[in-house]
Amino acid sequence: QTCSSHNCHTSSPTDLLIFKINSCGLRAQAAKRAIDANDAEALLSSMNYPLSLTTNQRSIAETGIADVVMYRSMLEDWWR
């Protein structure tokens, strides 16, 4: 099956990062939280450009970053 610009949605790396940060705190199982936190850290590490967040994205990130930090080795300052 192919996608045209009218029927497929793609997420930017930034959107995916924010999704992973947000979902980390929503998971009931610690193992799934750890996977989301690992994915978020890997995404941010792979971005070779300055991260530019919308007001909404920034709000989501600031709310969820504490959950991500609990499951990763990087401190909160690294994420900021």
Q: Render 1-63 in DSSP notation, one character per residue.
A: ----TTT-----HHHHHHHHHHHHHH-SSHHHHHHHHHHHHHHHHH--S-----HHHHHHHHH
pLDDT band at 2 (very low <50, low <70, confident <90, very high): low
Sign of CA dihedral 61, 40, 9, 26: negative
pTM of the predicted protein model: 0.81
2 part of a folded domain: no
Q: What is the pLDDT of residues 10-68, one digit of tens each?
A: 789 999 999 999 999 999 999 999 999 999 999 999 998 888 999 999 999 999 999 99
Domain boundaries, position 33: 13-79
pLDDT of residue 3: 63
pLDDT of residue 36: 96
pLDDT of residue 8: 66
5 part of a folded domain: no
Domains: count for the chain: 1
